[in-house]
Amino acid sequence: MSVLGEVSGIARIEDAPLESLLDALRAYRQRQARFITASCLDRGDRFEILYLFDEDLRTVAVRTLLPKGAKLPSATGVYLCAFLVENELQDLFGIEVEGLHIDYSGKFLVTDTFDAPPLLKQTACELQLPKENPS
């Protein structure tokens, strides 16, 4: 599967392999870029994750490719505010994040009534009734 090419509105996308992801993020931290959020795309056998930063009203991004099943190193050691979005990645994409400071272990937004993480491409998500009724 391909990755995103030019994205209108993002000034620069820098590719960082998984091993040096945290170093790349640290470089932004040192330049005092404001962390915006991370965004994840399901690309078949891997995830494409973009970390977005603000530099004087311009958006710049760091991209990493994560094979499915691999663990993602947590960015909370660099930017604490990443804990919200990383918990969301755990919930909605089923990505295991390693070293997360505040970990809701997959129960941040959704309750555990889904068979598969809802934002994955193969997950059919119609209005499905909960597996068992709590009452």
Which residues form the interface with another protein (CB under 8 A)? 4-10, 32, 34-37, 39, 41-42, 52, 57, 59, 79-81, 83-85, 92, 102, 107-111, 113-114, 118-119, 125-128, 130, 133-135
Closest distance between another protein and the C-beta of residue 34, in Å?
Answer: 6
Q: Which residue has the tokens 């993002």?
A: 10
Closest distance between another protein and the C-beta of residue 91, in Å?
Answer: 9
Closest distance between another protein and the C-beta of residue 57, in Å?
Answer: 5
Q: Which is nearer to another protein, 34 or 71 (CB)?
A: 34
Q: Which is nearer to another protein, 9 or 17 (CB)?
A: 9
Closest distance between another protein and the C-beta of residue 128, in Å?
Answer: 7
**CA–CA separation, 80 and 102 (whole Å):** 9
**CA–CA separation, 120 and 94 (whole Å):** 8
Nearest CA to 4 among 70, 72, 66, 65? 65
Q: Which is nearer to another protein, 20 or 113 (CB)?
A: 113
Q: Which is nearer to another protein, 19 or 121 (CB)?
A: 121
Closest distance between another protein and the C-beta of residue 19, in Å?
Answer: 25
Nearest CA to 49 among 33, 25, 27? 25
Q: Which is nearer to another protein, 7 or 70 (CB)?
A: 7
Residue pair 58/7 in contact by the 8 Å Cβ criterion: no
**CA–CA separation, 59 and 14 (whole Å):** 12
Nearest CA to 33 among 76, 85, 84, 78? 78
